[in-house]
Amino acid sequence: MPEERLQKILRSAGVTSRRKAEALIAAGRVRVDGQIVTEPGTKANPRSAKVELDGQRLQREPLCYGVMHKPRGMVTTLSDPEGRPTAQDILKQVGVRVIPIGRLDFNTSGVLLFTNDGDFAQALSHASGKVPKVYAAKVQQIVDEASLARWSEAIEIEGNLTRPAQTRILRREGDKTWLEVTLAEGKNRQVRRLGDHAKTPVVRLARLSHAEITCEGLRPGQWRLLTMDELKGLKKRYGVPKKVHAQAETTVHPARKLGARPKPTKPGSRSSGETSQLRSGPRGMSEPRQASRSGPPQRSASGQRSASGQRGAPAPRSASGQRSASGQRSAPAQRGGPADRTGRGAKGRRGAEAPPKPRARAASKR
């Protein structure tokens, strides 16, 4: 494996960004094979070299590739001095340190890819790759053929001419028009500037796809991992990722909506680490499997609680349905065990499989 700069090694370990890694190196907090290194440009082999930060050896995080549905009213930076919601508020749920690929405006929603693979991010965001980004833009006026032609013209942004956009009319709503705009690059506010150039200001903007990856099936604020088929397609079209592999489900958390908090673990239920990873394709996502609630505490025939505070289990009935000789009733059936693969939603919908039968409890003596 070729040598890499220490900044990249620290970044791949999920410690910090490359820029902040330079400060850690300059402060003498990084060792390579036992030797303190203070030169940020120093290189090392991430596999064979022993790289430590504050005495702890660094390990490379597994590569992660995903897509989120960015809502409006959010910046795509990892932090914001104005205190506005950021993409990091959602991406921190992934379980490994990832960054957005490219940016979307504060009031633009839609597809936002993310990864911790620098080569992958560079290939899909650099203008030389000509990676298509498709947008739906709602403009203020009725767009005629002359205005549509102006949408396809090159404009100057930051001293450089843009590549012509491919534009077509989707539909008209009263005095407004929905357009589909396809860009082969991603200049700052390019779609909105095209609207100003054509004298049809953009009032609503959403990204439909990036590199042919969509967020269909995801609500604003949700995310999912890319499927094997999607990764293979990206490698075939754009040469990344360099190695296509199944993403480790144990290293990431299931998709959640922004602001959702994990429920506290109940006795007998699955822990958050045991919750199954969302499996989804480009057309949507399925629900994660959830543990069903356990049944209510049982009473003994005498109605007394046990030493642990729980009431004892009643005695079973006989085959004829009568009480046993001790006069005890049988224990009611309990609910328990994991739901089937279709999941059990908040309203209590059951899947195709029945939950496993509970173990019989010993009858308490009077």
**Please, what are the averages of pLDDT over each run of 10 residues along the chain (366 residues)?**
85 82 92 92 88 90 95 93 94 92 96 94 92 97 93 93 95 96 93 96 98 97 97 96 78 44 40 32 35 43 46 47 47 42 42 44 44
Q: Which residues are catalytic?
A: 105
- For residue 228, the surrounding DSSP H or E stretch is helix 228-238
User: Residue 181, SS3?
Assistant: strand
Nearest to 61 by CA among 95, 10, 96: 96
User: Residue 190, SS3?
Assistant: helix
Residues of 224-247 as b/e, b for ≥16 C-beta within 10 angstroms? bbbbeebbebbeeebebbeebeeb
- Alpha-carbon distance values, 75 to 64, 110, 112, 233 (Å): 21, 12, 11, 29
What pLDDT is recorded for position 118? 87
Tokens representing 279 are: 């499996």
What pLDDT is recorded for position 249? 54
Instruction: Show Cβ contacts of residue 319 under 8 Å, excluding neighbours closer than 6 positions.
Output: none
pTM for the model = 0.64
What domains lie within the chain, and their CATH numbers? 4-57 (3.10.290.10), 62-129+215-257 (3.30.70.580), 132-210 (3.30.70.1560)
Question: Which DSSP symbol is given to 234?
Answer: H
User: Residue 147, SS3?
Assistant: helix
Residue in the block written with tokens 């673990």: 265
**What are the E-state strand segments in the chain?**
4-5, 30-32, 35-36, 43-44, 51-53, 56-57, 65-70, 99-100, 109-115, 133-139, 156-157, 160-161, 166-173, 176-183, 202-210, 213-214, 223-225
Could you give the CA distance from residue 37 to residue 5 in angstroms, rounded to a whole number? 12
